[in-house]
Amino acid sequence: MSFQATEDDPAEAILARIHARGGAATIYDIAELAGVNPSTVSRALGKPGRISAATAAKVRAAAERLDFRVNPMARALQTGKTNMLGLVLADITNPVVFGMVRGAEHAAAEAGYTLVIAESQESGENEAEAIERLLPSVDGLVLAATRMQAGATSDLAARKPLILVNRAVDGVASVLPDIAAGVTQLLDHLAALGHRSVVFLAGPDTSWASARRWAEVLAAAEQRDLAVVEIGPNQPTIEGGRDALRRVQASHATAVIAYNDLMAIGLMQEAAAHGIHIPDQLSVAGFDDIFGSELITPPLTTVASDLGEAGRRAVRRLLGADGEGEADADDALLPTWLIARGSTGPAPRG
Amino acid sequence: MSFQATEDDPAEAILARIHARGGAATIYDIAELAGVNPSTVSRALGKPGRISAATAAKVRAAAERLDFRVNPMARALQTGKTNMLGLVLADITNPVVFGMVRGAEHAAAEAGYTLVIAESQESGENEAEAIERLLPSVDGLVLAATRMQAGATSDLAARKPLILVNRAVDGVASVLPDIAAGVTQLLDHLAALGHRSVVFLAGPDTSWASARRWAEVLAAAEQRDLAVVEIGPNQPTIEGGRDALRRVQASHATAVIAYNDLMAIGLMQEAAAHGIHIPDQLSVAGFDDIFGSELITPPLTTVASDLGEAGRRAVRRLLGADGEGEADADDALLPTWLIARGSTGPAPRG
DNA sequence: TTGTATGCGTTATCAC
DNA sequence: GTGATAACGCATACAA
């Protein structure tokens, strides 16, 4: 008579008690059911080797029966490890971050970590606030395109494992793209198309990435004896790109390299609104290859890198999950490459 | 002599001790510095009213001095509340979710909650896994576009506060768009342009939103005596839209309403590749007004809703932060509206 | 108003 | 290999 057996089943009684107190099963419940000490349960579940096969099996069966899950808070309180990672972004609606978030989230989940995300809205104040809020709950932090001062960043790195994405600060680990590779290809591309005068449309002046890209463009342009000027700072948005058109035209440059695709797209829109044909009258290129950049007309030439990989590396390095061999690979700069599309073409004859 | 004073400062000694043990300040440290009992510290920091102004000030000063932050894990262990909320998404790289994530994140942060995000990659298995992983750590869950069975969803709702976005299940709270409004406008728009035969390009057959949109399109088409057929299921992606072109053409319909903008964009791309001019030969519309839909050529006509507001409402309702008045507003359907752009035009003369 | 004592669920340090 | 017990940092019932 199976229901009689069920009534006698000690597991049922324990489950009822658990339900009554409105909570989840604990290692004490398992210990009781398995007839062992709570500490044995903890070991059986946590340290595979250090327990006899027989008791381990008993414990696992009991845990299964009671639908046990460890309480992450209790574990964290004892161990000091929360198994959570923080990711701080400037602007979560910027398409550039999508891939990065996914890469980071998957790498974290794979390692049994949970990713918590905070957005600073491009404001240093919000960023500091978000970091403070996250700090006590996470084992480490990924800061993407941070606006923090280098000093504050070092201080933070001293308190908590930290990885910077797209920003370098002395003594702090970071995941950086090998911009030189993509920029070299881009300037070769433009030079081959006959351009002799180029504008770099800068982002915000707090943006490390913008400064870095400009430095690389400058160096590459010098090598090829191309004229190049920096115009900025600008908002790193479509609006920022639109607003720059007049200054771009005034420069009489035949090609524009925008700090990012958003700005490039804005510039192209504004150009179209003014009857300027791209690429016949003006070539435009960006950075990041965001969603949408190949959908627009003409599709945008851009310097791409694998941002999913950036997110993945960031959390892997945070977790120190590098086997010796992997450490090197994760330390290396992220490859970048040119995606030449329709927004760049032969320089107008001038 | 200020450094002499510093040496004598009891706070310095405590700070040194904290640093030595490599951790953060606790209420015990504060209690010691302020000369009160730890429980008094806990109350002073947590329950504003229940303590004398004088001691409260002392405690706050000491907390400030020692740079104290409560340990969220310790608090959670005691109270059973983690102050964390989970957000489970099908596809984090789908532009449709960005606004929702931002809305949810801000509403959560505003209420002192931390948002943790998990992605199910459009897979029911991953979704279940992500939910199980998040469940013990969060006070509530927002499920966006879930693939879960209605039964499993109800069961989950019984275990943990739950809000569904863009999906309805009996007895489970949800945030839903008022699709009828936008669809009505869309079909009026198409009818006014002379279209008599319309295709609805469905999403996956597990998608509640797709079914809902189709039902609404069907009803509105019937009212206007327009011919309408559903073609699908399809992947809710650009690729899914591309793959559908042949079947769309075979239908001889003059207008297509895609389940979402991604599919609409894919369809338009494939049409362009086959020399089909939009909107002259075929009108195309989508749902969601994602980033990029106004950047493409021609810009996409679409039924929009405020997804940031959806995210915001979802967490607010999760937190039951509804003042009586607000509850009504948050309970109401989310407005939707038509954004008529260049991808829809007069029906070709047939 | 404030101090005392206890418990939250787990891991870790001892014993045995 | 396993059991007993303390400790993590905080909140709270109870005493004073």
How far, CA to CA in Å, does A283 sit from each of A68, A96, A198, A290, B138?
A: 61, 22, 9, 18, 50
**CA proximity to B230, closest of B216, B293, B185:** B216
Q: Is the CB of A73 under 7 A from strand D?
A: no
How does B105-137 read in b/e, with b if 16+ C-beta sit within 10 Å? Answer: bbbbbeeebbbbbbbbebeeebbeebbebbebb
Are the C-beta atoms of A59 and A45 separated by less than 8 Å?
yes
Residues of chain B with pLDDT under 50: 1-5, 322-325
Structure tokens at A298: 């003409």
Count of alpha carbons within 13 angstroms of residue A53, beta-carbon side: 0
Contacting residues for B79 by C-beta, under 8 A, at least 6 apart: none
Contacting residues for B31 by C-beta, under 8 A, at least 6 apart: B37, B38, B40, B41
Which of B72, B116, B291 comes nearest A136 by C-beta? B72
Q: Is the CB of A59 under 7 A from strand D?
A: no
Q: Is B133's CB within 8 Å of A73's CB? A: no
- Of all nucleotides, the one whose C1′ comes closest to residue B53's CA is C1
Chain B residues touching A296 at Cβ < 8 A: 292, 295-297
β-bridge pairing A336-339 and B114-119: unpaired
H helix or E strand, kind and range, residue A9: none
Give A105→chain B minimum CA distance, Å.
Answer: 7
Confidence at residue B239, expressed as pLDDT on a 0 to 100 scale:
97
H helix or E strand, kind and range, residue A16: helix A10-20
Q: A237: alpha, beta or left, given left = phi > 0 and alpha = psi -120 to 50? A: beta
Q: Is A116's CB within 8 Å of B116's CB? A: yes
Return the number of other C-beta atoms located less than 10 Å from residue A35's C-beta.
12
Task: Return phi, psi of residue B278, to 5°.
Answer: -115, 130
Q: Is B71's CB within 8 Å of A117's CB? A: no
Chain B residues touching A117 at Cβ < 8 A: 101, 105, 115-117
Distance CA A215, CA A222 (A): 11
Confidence at residue A50, expressed as pLDDT on a 0 to 100 scale:
85
Contacting residues for B317 by C-beta, under 8 A, at least 6 apart: B163, B173, B175, B330, B331
- Of all nucleotides, the one whose C1′ comes closest to residue B78's CA is C8
**In sequence order, what E strands does chain A have?**
84-89, 114-119, 140-144, 162-165, 174-175, 197-201, 227-231, 255-258, 283-287, 301-305, 336-339
H helix or E strand, kind and range, residue B127: helix B124-134
Which of B77, B92, B295 comes nearest A292 by C-beta? B295
Chain A residues touching B92 at Cβ < 8 A: 98, 101-102, 105
Residue closest to C6 C1′ by Cα: B78
Q: Is B118's CB within 8 Å of A114's CB? A: yes
Are the C-beta atoms of A73 and B79 separated by less than 8 Å?
no
Q: Is A296's CB within 8 Å of B291's CB? A: no
Question: What is the rounded radius of gyration, in angstroms, for the C-alpha atoms of chain A?
Answer: 27
Distance CA B318, CA A50 (A): 43
How far, CA to CA in Å, does A35 sit from each of A31, A51, A56, A57, A190?
A: 6, 15, 12, 12, 75
How far, CA to CA in Å, does A258 sit from each of A236, A252, A272, B129?
A: 9, 16, 16, 42
Question: Touching check for A291 and chain B: CB below 8 Å?
Answer: yes
Are the C-beta atoms of B148 and B93 separated by less than 8 Å?
no
Helix axis angle for B307-318 and B324-331, nearest 10°, is: 130
Confidence at residue A3, expressed as pLDDT on a 0 to 100 scale:
46
H helix or E strand, kind and range, residue A39: helix A38-46
β-bridge pairing B140-144 and B84-89: parallel
Distance CA B209, CA B177 (A): 10
Distance CA A97, CA B261 (A): 20
Chosen for mutation from A67, A98, A126, A312 (greatest number of chain B CBs closer than 10 Å) is A98
- Of all nucleotides, the one whose C1′ comes closest to residue A34's CA is D2
**DSSP codes joined into one string, A230-248:** EE----SSHHHHHHTHHHH
pLDDT tens digits in sequence order for chain A, 350 residues long: 444 445 568 889 999 999 998 889 999 999 999 999 999 999 999 988 889 999 999 999 999 999 999 999 999 999 999 999 999 998 888 889 989 999 999 999 999 999 999 999 878 888 998 999 999 999 999 999 888 999 999 999 998 999 999 999 999 999 999 999 999 999 999 999 999 999 999 999 989 999 999 999 999 999 999 999 999 899 999 999 999 999 999 999 999 999 999 999 999 999 999 999 999 999 999 999 999 999 999 999 999 999 999 999 999 999 985 444 455 556 789 999 999 999 999 999 86
- DSSP 3-state of B7: helix
Percent helix, strand and coil across chain A, each to the nearest 5: 50, 15, 35
Confidence at residue B7, expressed as pLDDT on a 0 to 100 scale:
57
Question: Touching check for A249 and chain B: CB below 8 Å?
Answer: no
Are the C-beta atoms of A85 and A69 separated by less than 8 Å?
no
Cis, bond preceding A233 (omega within 30 deg of 0):
yes
**CA proximity to A201, closest of A148, A155, A245:** A245
- Of all nucleotides, the one whose C1′ comes closest to residue B73's CA is D9
**DSSP codes joined into one string, A199-265:** EEE---TT-HHHHHHHHHHHHHHHHTT-EEEEE----SSHHHHHHTHHHHHHHT-SEEEESSHHHHH
Confidence at residue A63, expressed as pLDDT on a 0 to 100 scale:
96
Structure tokens at A313: 């590396």
pTM comes to 0.90
Question: Touching check for A273 and chain B: CB below 8 Å?
Answer: no
**DSSP codes joined into one string, B292-314:** TTTTBSSPPEEEEE-HHHHHHHH
Apex B142 CA angle, B316 and A17, nearest 5: 100
